[in-house]
Amino acid sequence: MAGLEKGNHTRITEFLLVGFETLPELQITLFVVFFIIYLATVAGNLLLVLTVWTDHHLHTPMYFFLSNLSFLETGYVSTIIPRLLASLATGDKTISLLGCFLQLFVFSFLGATECFLLTGMSYDRYLAICDPLHYASNMSPRFSFLLAFASWALGFVAPSFTVIMASLLPFCGPSEINHFFCDLTALLKLPCTNTSLIETTALISAFTISMVPFVLTITSYVYVILTILRIPSTTGRKKAFSTCSAHLIVVSMFYGALIIMYVVPSGNQSLDFNKVFSLLYTVVTPMFNPIVYSLRNQEVKDALRRAIGKMWPSTKM
Ligand SMILES: *[C@@H]1O[C@H](CO)[C@@H](O)[C@H](O)[C@H]1NC(C)=O
């Protein structure tokens, strides 16, 4: 049987993204829910980018990183949700091989970039809080731009080897991807060949891309927290903590979701579990980032107030 399949090398030309197999009535509900989440995510993140861009009080490295992260999140959700919305609306679940690998690549590229960007942000907080006297010279606008640029460049390069390797696999058998986007784990169930080599490569690559930034980020924040705890005055401690509590929440959400994905399913290799939990980092986290930053940060709140005051002078917030 296996020999027959191997001999017959007709490559399939498209995949089926199974998505959420539910009752037809539920598809409409899902469409509405994802549509609202998508609008809220894009609006929230773009509002943050615009606020930082237009308000000169926020022209500092910290807010540059923040708006860069929001910009990235907008792209990240846009590689996944619009495709899902289209298939929920039309019922057409097909995706071309090229489209699928492109989605996989962009999604991995932006995910890796986020890991590196969060590391850059933690380093910025480390310099600001642990060495405040030299902060302005250490974290110049030029250096912060360089750090962001390096994150994007590294994020682009890091996952490309795995994605190129996956795209070279022979696909001739089943074409159903049991997921709502072209997720690598789900995709690697399909090739009509042994996938253990690429599975190992992908695992090592994903582990390195997420773990090295994770350790660096945690190290920075441990130093930050130790330094804050040593500040003698309560108001000084509160002020220092308020600038990085939002960072801590966002980093915990991002890596919390990642750890759940990698650690929990190892005992329970169920793709449906994978599918539901990947909603956490593809849909939920990007929506909450701008909310966390605007609610936990007095400067962002003030800037938003100024912006709204300028647009509608009669509104009082
Ligand atoms: C984010 O950073 C990259 C690389 O430094 C830059 O090209 C891009 O314009 C930045 N985007 C925003 C919105 O800050």
pLDDT per residue over 24-73, tens digit each? 778 888 999 999 999 999 999 999 999 899 888 889 999 999 999 999 99
Our answer on whether the CB atom of 141 is closer than 6 Å to any ligand 1 atom is no
CB-based contacts of 47, cutoff 8 Å, min separation 6: 290, 304
Which candidate, 58, 96, 101, places its Cα nearest to that of 79?
A: 101
Over the stretch 131-151, which tens digit does the pLDDT of each residue have?
989 999 999 999 999 999 999
Evaluate: CB of 68 within 6 angstroms of ligand 1. Answer: yes
Element (H, E) at 79: helix 61-90
Cα–Cα dist 1/52, whole Å: 61
In the predicted structure, residue 168 carries a pLDDT above the cut 80: yes
> Helix, strand, or coil here: 23?
coil
Ligand 1 lined by 71 (C-beta under 6 Å): yes
Residue 4 has a pLDDT of 42
Q: Which of 221, 224, 210 has its CA nearest to residue 257?
A: 210
For ligand 1, say whether the CB of 161 is within 6 Å of any of its atoms: no
Q: Quick check: 219 and 267 in contact, CB under 8 A?
A: no
150 CA distance to ligand 1 middle (Å): 11
Query: 151 CB less than 6 Å from ligand 1?
Result: no
Q: Is the pLDDT of residue 173 over 70?
A: yes
Question: What is the Cα–Cα distance from 294 to 284, expressed in whole angstroms?
Answer: 16
Domains of the chain: 10-311 (1.20.1070.10)
Q: Which residue has the higher pLDDT, 78 or 173?
A: 78
Closest CA to 48 of 309, 311, 288, 312: 288
Q: Three-state DSSP class for 38?
A: helix
Q: Is 145 in the pocket of ligand 1 (CB under 6 A)?
A: yes
Contact in structure between 290 and 48 (CB atoms under 8 Å): yes
Read off the pLDDT band of 22 (50, 70, 90): low
Q: What is the pLDDT of residue 24?
A: 73
pLDDT tens digits for range 257-284: 887 776 665 545 566 777 778 888 888 8
CA-nearest residue for atom 1, ligand 1, is: 68
Decide: 214 in ligand 1 pocket, CB within 6 A.
no
DSSP 80-147: HHHHHHHHHHH---EEEHHHHHHHHHHHHHHHHHHHHHHHHHHHHHHHHHHSGGGHHHHS-HHHHHHH
Q: Which of 66, 116, 152, 154 to mutate to test the pocket of ligand 1 (most atoms within 8 A of CB)?
A: 152
* Residue-level pLDDT at 310: 77
Kindly state if the Cβ of 63 falls inside 6 Å of ligand 1: no
Joined together, the tokens standing for residue 7 give 């001999």
Ligand 1 atom 3: the closest Cα is on which residue? 149
Mean pLDDT of 292-307: 81
The answer to whether the pTM exceeds 0.85 is yes
The closest of 225, 246, 248 to 237, measured between CA atoms, is 225
pLDDT of 1 higher than 70:
no
How many Cα atoms are found within 13 Å in the side-chain-facing hemisphere of 245? 12
CA-to-CA separations, 222 to 116, 292, 303, in angstroms, rounded: 18, 21, 29
CB of 288 within 6 A of ligand 1: the answer is: no
70 lines ligand 1 (CB under 6 A): no
Task: For a ligand 1 pocket test, name from 54, 65, 68 the mutation site with the most ligand atoms within 8 angstroms of its C-beta.
Answer: 68
First to last CA, the chain: 70
Residue in this structure with the two tokens 């090592």, named with its chain if needed: 204
Distance 144 CA to ligand 1 centre (A): 10
State the alpha helices, DSSP H only, in 168-280: 184-187, 196-229, 234-263, 271-279
